[in-house]
A = this chain, B = another copy of it.
């Protein structure tokens, strides 16, 4: 059985015309001989409208009920898509999260899929139907409706593809693939025909904003090939799959993330104890720390710098100041006009020259690097926000022309 899972985001089903276009694409895949499961998000503004309705009732609505409310959004879009497909003359059936047997944990608003049973979906596919499944939602073991949080529909699509051993999971979105850099800021950016899961994960977390990390992690875990394609044209898109390791260093993309702020604690007592305390305090408030830099001073004290998302800077400073005596820093400084630019690609670790090339490119462009982080497949540099766009262009020119 050739099985395709096709996922359509909110903008791809925003109105009747777009729903019809999605239906045509699905029906065309069906007529080419594939079994098709389509996963849909809520229509364009539906989620915002529902959130607004809740806001009129309560400033802090109970999370369980928010999930009941929001899950109505996909129920609407999936039934409309089924209608559009039936109008094309093919039998279709829409299934909510519980009907599609998508079981999650009980974390309302940010649930994780634990199991997709898929019996019902398989039965309907065997009946020659196109099956539409509500993205973003599931049920917990007590039959309560849950939602998956940001990027949840992608995760639904990948989970179903994994459970049903689909040949491919196609993610339809408003961009037509994964680019070497953001085409809005790098003129020569080009689309990658394929990319590995690891590289995609680095690109996603660095702001490429096309696929949610959780869905890529799941695709990698279960070996589901992903295709990122445009809902608005027939272009081939980018395939995300396990790519055999290459000795040769191969840069895939350059990214920028302006959402970076730095905190520096000066004059900490040397040793891992105080550093542990700092990160423990931040973790308790669910603050994600990204790049960490530590420097030991001649006087025996230690300076500690780390970056967080700009939105979490205020909370981070509050916590640190409240616990100033306990931490014992001489001074706390922060800077929010920072950005992170990164070069992503397999084989970096085995090519020590890459870092040097990256620093050289930045230096040639006259850009100061204040922090550096490297991994198997990426090099990230913290620079002033005003330099970020130039930095991305310089790196793209160096590695990807």
**Residues of A participating in the B interface, judged by any CB pair closer than 8 Å:** 15-16, 19-20, 50, 53-54, 56-58, 61-62, 64-66, 68-69, 71-73, 75-76, 78-80, 82-84, 86-87, 92-94, 96, 98-99, 120, 143-145
| Contacts A80-B53, A84-B57 given; does A99 touch B64 at CB 8 Å | no
A56 contact set on B, CB distance < 8 A: 15-16
Shortest CB-to-CB span from A263 to chain B, Å, is 37
| Contacts A57-B16, A57-B83 given; does A69 touch B75 at CB 8 Å | yes
A66 x B50 contact (CB < 8 A):
no
A76 x B94 contact (CB < 8 A):
no
Measured CA separation A15–B57 after assembly (Å) = 9
Q: Which one of B65, B80, B87, B93 lies within 8 Å of A83 (CB-CB)?
A: B65
| Contacts A16-B57, A57-B20, A58-B87 given; does A79 touch B65 at CB 8 Å | yes
Measured CA separation A73–B84 after assembly (Å) = 20
B86 x A62 contact (CB < 8 A):
yes
A19 contact set on B, CB distance < 8 A: 57
Shortest CB-to-CB span from A85 to chain B, Å, is 9
| Contacts A64-B93, A82-B62 given; does A76 touch B57 at CB 8 Å | no
Q: Which one of B64, B72, B82, B120 lies within 8 Å of A76 (CB-CB)?
A: B72
A65 x B82 contact (CB < 8 A):
yes
